[in-house]
Structure 1
Amino acid sequence: MLVAAAVCPCPPMLVPEVAAGAAPELEVLRTACAEAVRELLDSGAELLVVVGTGPRAQVWTEGGAGSFHRYGVDLAVRLPSGGVDGPPLAPSLTLGAWLLTEAGAALPTHACAVPADAPPTRMLSLGKGLADLADRVGLLVLGDGSACRSVKAPGYLDERAEGFDADAARALGAADTEALAALDPKLAAELLADGRAPWQVLAGAAEDAGLGGRLRYAEAPYGVGYFVASWC
């Protein structure tokens, strides 16, 4: 059963070594993520599952490791309480492993990568399955909102982006599983909002959990929607 969840974005610049001179610009976001992860770890969960996008569906159950070498930083991380065997973690999951490492997490931890274009029904079903992995499951869900919030954004400016992100932020803040499940995958793809699929995994996992939500952060630095939320 799902007992808690932390929702965080996954820009590599959350890692100060990657951000370098720009690190102070994201300090408020970094603090919000740390607080959400700490609340997740304090929830009494006995198993953590990190969920984020990846190039293909993939699961890590015996540990896993990733690095920030692609960003020119000699920094490697691994999931708590596991080894480093198997394929490298997807970038979103690597950021999740970094957040857990920074928080000193030591719980058994699995990881699950989902394609950004995965059908909602499949994500909802996956979430239900993850919630059944243990009596007390906690999710760390990684994903960004639209990357089309300004003319300098990766996807340039799309006037639909602000409304999409506002709907997502409201749903995440209210732990509204129905609203998350209803997010349009086609629109999300057009707006480069890769958090849609992981958020719908969360919606499936939390469907009957009766959790409440708290929105900790909702801004669009660099023209990308970043949200931090706690569900418990």
Structure 2
Amino acid sequence: MLAAAAVCPCPPLLVPEVAGGAAHEMDPARAACADAIGVLAAARPDRLVVVGPAGERQQGAFPAGSRGSLRGFGVDVEVTLGNAPAADGERALPPSLTLGAWLLARTGYAGDVTALGLDEALDPGHCAGAGRDLVAGDERIALLVMGDGSACRSAKAPGAYDERAAGFDAGVARALGAADTDALAAVDPAAAAALRASGRACWQLLAGAAAGAGLGGRLLYDEAPYGVGYFVASWS
């Protein structure tokens, strides 16, 4: 069963060492993420699962102790998933799950943690099914769902400016704030891909996991400081 969920963005700029002199610009996002994870901790789940977008070679399950690194972003920052000893020989966490593990370590989360890398191209039905599978049974599961909104909100955004981006992100923000699983399930994969919204598949996994769970939502952060939509939401 799903006990609680948090939705957080996954830009490497969340990590102050990556952001450098601009680290303060993401302070509100970091604070909102800490609040959302605090709700997960308060739910006292049997297990927390970090879910994030991943490439074809990085998708699938990652056990506690899996390691990730931000060296690819120019900083010597390594993280381990959960409080388990670092697992030798395991696949490295993809960036989204590395950021999730970093957030959990930063907030001092002490529970049992595993992770799942989700193919961004997975269709909505498969995403929902993966969510239902995650929460099947009596184990109380919390989800930390990583992913960004559109990357086309301004001329300086990673993607070219697209006038559809603001409306797309506004719809996602409303759905996340209301814990509206139907609205999340209805997010158009083609539009999300065109607008470079990396979180679409993960939000739709959450929609499948939360269907019928009766959780309420709160939107804690909704900004696009670099032309990319970043959301933080708490469901409990």
- TM-score (structure 1 length as normaliser): 0.97
What SS does structure 2 have at the residue aligned with 1:221? coil
Structure 1 residue aligned with 2:6: 6
Offset at 1:105?
1.4
User: Displacement of 1:141 after TM fit?
Assistant: 0.2
Contact 2:62/2:114 (CA < 8 Å) preserved in 1?
A: yes
With 74-83 and 221-230 compared, the bigger mean Cα shift is at: 74-83
- Encode CA deviations 1:92-150: one digit per residue, 9 max, x unaligned: 00000000001111211110001111111000000001112652100000000000001
In structure 2, C-alpha distance between the alignment counterparts of 1:199 and 1:118, rounded to whole Å: 12
Write the mapping of 1:220-231 to structure 2, written as runs, cut at 5 A: 220-231=224-235
**Distance across 1 between alignment mates of 2:95 and 2:229:** 18
In structure 2, what is the Cα distance between the partners aligned to 1:38 and 1:46?
A: 15
Question: Aligned partners of 1:156 and 1:22: how far apart in 2?
Answer: 23
For 2:52, the equivalent position in structure 1 comes to 52
Which residue matches 1:105? 109
Question: Structure 1: which amino acid aligns with 2:69?
Answer: S
1:75 matched residue in structure 2: 77
How many angstroms apart in 2 are the aligned matches of 1:62 and 1:169? 30
The count of aligned residue pairs is 232
In 2: Cα distance, 1:90 partner to 1:101 partner: 16
Show structure 1 runs of 5+ residues with no match.
none
Deviations 1:140-199 (A, max 9, x none): 000000000011101121011111100000000000000000000000000000100000
User: Are 1:139 and 2:143 matched, yes or no?
Assistant: yes
TM-score by length of 2: 0.96
Name the amino acid aligned to 1:117.
A
Q: Where does the alignment leave 5 or more consecutive residues of structure 2 unmatched? A: none
Which amino acid in 2 is paired with 1:87?
Answer: R
- Give the fraction of aligned pairs with identical amino acids, expressed as a percent: 57
State the secondary structure of the residue aligned to 1:128. Answer: helix
Residue 42 (structure 1) shift: 1.1
- Look up the match of 2:87: 84
Distance in 2 separating the partners of 1:148 and 1:175 = 25
Calculate the aligned-residue CA RMSD, in Å.
1.0
> Following the alignment from structure 1 to structure 2, what is the Cα–Cα distance between the partners of residues 49 and 60?
10
> For residues 24 and 62 of structure 1, what CA distance do their matches in structure 2 show?
31
Q: Does 1:33 align with 2:44?
A: no
Q: 1:154 to 1:183 in 2, by over 3 A?
A: same
Q: Aligned residue for 1:24? A: 24
Q: 1:99 to 1:62 in 2, by over 3 A?
A: closer
Name the residue aligned to 2:160. 156
| Shift >3 Å, 4+ stretches | none
Q: Which residue of 2 aligns with 1:120?
A: 124
Is 1:178 paired with 2:173? no
Residue 169 (structure 1) aligns with: 173
Choose from 61, 64, 77 the match for 2:63: 61
Encode CA deviations 1:32-65: one digit per residue, 9 max, x unaligned: 1111111111112110000000102311134311
**Contact 1:79–1:97 (Cα < 8 Å) also in 2:** yes
Rounded to whole Å, the distance in 2 between the matches of 1:133 and 1:38 is: 24
8 Å CA contact 2:7–2:232 kept in 1: the answer is yes
